Amino acid sequence: ESWRGWNIHPEDYPNGVALDAFADMVAERTEGRIEPEVYHNAVLGDQPDAIEQLRNGGLDFANFNMGPMGEIVPATNVLSLPFLFTDIDNMHEVMDGEIGDRFADALAEEGIIALSWFDSGARSFYNTDHPIATPADMEGLKFRVMNNDLYVQMVDELGGNATPMAYSEVYQSLRTGVIDGAENNWPSFDTSNHFEVAGYYSNTNHLILPECICISADTWEGVSDEDKEIVTQAALEAAEQQRELWAASSEESRQKVLDAGVEVNEVDDPAAFQDAMQPIYTKFIEANPDLESYIDDIRATQQD
């Protein structure tokens, strides 16, 4: 049986490499009973469309980011809350454990079977003007954010001017001052060439969004228990590989932009940023009381 898989990234990206590895492992270990084929570069559509395709029999598996997943699976909106995780290891700890299983259950209710969690790094602010060390440094700067109310609120609470904008417009807009900054992870900061025009990268690590290898529930139903075991194992191994490749590529990108003369700084007091997010959390919990336990449980992992 041949499986169609969706990937938004290029095939030589950590995700692309890991997905191809997943496909090879599955084909080999099931002795050709399942032959996954990955379509890279979003040639089959963007993520919201791909999610619908996966739930309706157009796709068998995919690598989804949890950011745009919130429209379909509201529980995953928790993961879009700014400054939720302290760092990437914290995110791994949460997602690989019992809390991650609860997210997986929520996804499964919408027909999306999450087998393992990929990394998409930590997103931080960068801009053309000065290092951001305290929330006050955000004052009056125009930041491009992704189209999501939570991200707009985040920038607004920090005193900046949130500007939703298509990703393709960002480079030119940074170059010419239409916007002052944006936010992303190291590899994207590098490959988008935004570092050529935005000389200050501040390690706020405000968003650490996990990604999944997800299988369509319809497809999953038709898989024998033996093969389910094989596919799950392959997904876990692929995630391990993806995380390693991702860490390596982040480091490589970090080195490259440092060499290019970008000024990188740590924030003085991460708590000041987290405190500024309080209104967002309060509003979020008011609107989604059933999701409060997720937040509390994630916070509990950060106590020591």
Please give the residue ranges that form the binding site for another protein (CB under 8 A): 4, 39, 41, 43-46, 48-49, 52-53, 56-58, 71-72, 140, 142, 147-149, 152, 161-166, 168-169, 171-173, 175-178
Q: In this complex, which beta carbon is closest to another protein, that of residue 197 or of residue 247?
A: 197
The nearer residue to another protein, 49 or 227, going by C-beta atoms, is 49
CB-wise, 145 or 276, nearer to another protein? Answer: 145
Nearest residue (CB) to another protein, 72 versus 133: 72
CB of 191 to another protein, least distance (A): 11
CB of 31 to another protein, least distance (A): 25
Residue 166, judged by CB atoms within 10 A of its CB (0-12, 13-18, 19+), counts as exposed
Closest separation in Å from C-beta 57 to another protein? 5
Per DSSP bridges, beta strands 123-127 and 181-184 are antiparallel
Q: Which amino acid is at 4?
A: R
Task: Report the alpha-carbon distance of residue 167 to residue 125 in Å, rounded.
Answer: 15
Q: State the nearest-atom distance from the C-beta of 269 to another protein, in Å.
A: 26
Q: How far is the CB of 150 from another protein (least distance, A)?
A: 10
Tokens of 216: 């369509």
Give 180 or 211: the residue with its C-beta nearer to another protein.
Answer: 180
Structure tokens at 217: 């529930």
**Closest distance to another protein from the beta carbon of 129 (Å):** 14
Q: Which of 249, 217, 253, 215 is nearest to 16 (CA)?
A: 249
> Helix axis angle, 98-109 relative to 292-300, nearest 10°?
160
Phi first, then psi: give them for residue 65, nearest 5 degrees.
Answer: -85, 145
- Asked if residue 142 lies in contact with residue 161, where contact means CB atoms within 8 angstroms, the answer is yes
Token code pair at residue 231: 């596919």
Nearer of residues 91 and 179 to another protein, judged by Cβ: 179
- Distance from CA of residue 164 to its chain's centroid? 18
C-alpha span between 247 and 215 (Å, rounded): 25
Angle at 12 between CA 166 and CA 207, to 5 degrees: 45
The smaller minimum CB distance to another protein, of residues 71 and 268, is found at 71
CB of 175 to another protein, least distance (A): 6
